[in-house]
Amino acid sequence: MLKNFHFEHNEIGTDEAGRGCLAGPVTAAAVILPKNFKNSILNDSKKLSEKNRDFLKPIIETTSVSFGVFHIEPTKIDEINILNASILAMHKSIDLLTTNTTYIIVDGNKFKNYKDYTHQCIIKGDSKYMSIAAASVLAKTYRDEYMNKIHLEFPMYNWKKNKGYPTKEHREAIRKYGITKYHRKSFRQLPEQLKLDIL
């Protein structure tokens, strides 16, 4: 079972989803759980079925002390790169919290200072600590909802299924139809794609 990671205050757990996608936003969530929070299903969102993620989402939303979710769009990802966009999404999700908690635990090994808060990066934190796992579930479910919505606009890419990840089907659709406003132009959309210097 995952652990809580409490200091003098309830910590903020934060994580992102969609970093490796060819299309759609990178989405981050920040969650503060109550000190007595327990859940036997909660884990890294990648280890959960879609059914369990959807089951956990309202539980996290209703029992958390506070939570925030934020999307960074592809144009911004192209402008500042995916790592900076992921960190920006996490900062923006923390902005949405209503709390005086100033201790952040982050999934992964990269983060930038947020205000005067203390932060700690934790490799595979989403499979170790509940607040990060909860953030991973919200980031994933909110991003999936976003991709389901834009799927209706461009059904030929089947984002409802692949969520913008570089599946064979997604890449075949890009080869056939080209890219959309939701694709990340700074990403290699096709394996053989070449970058040309245009004078």
Report the chain's mean pLDDT, rounded to a whole number. Answer: 91
pTM for the structure as a whole: 0.91
Q: What is the pLDDT of residue 9?
A: 55
CA distances from 108 to 48, 104, 136, 170 (A): 19, 12, 12, 27
pLDDT tens, residue by residue, 6-56: 544 589 999 999 999 999 999 999 999 998 888 999 998 999 999 999 999
* H or E segment to which residue 7 belongs: none
Q: What is the Cα–Cα distance from 19 to 12, expressed in whole angstroms?
A: 21
Q: Cα dihedral angle (74, 80, 84, 86), rounded to 10 degrees?
A: 0
Assign 195 a pLDDT band (cuts: 50, 70, 90): very low
Give residue 102's identity as a one-letter amino acid code.
Answer: T
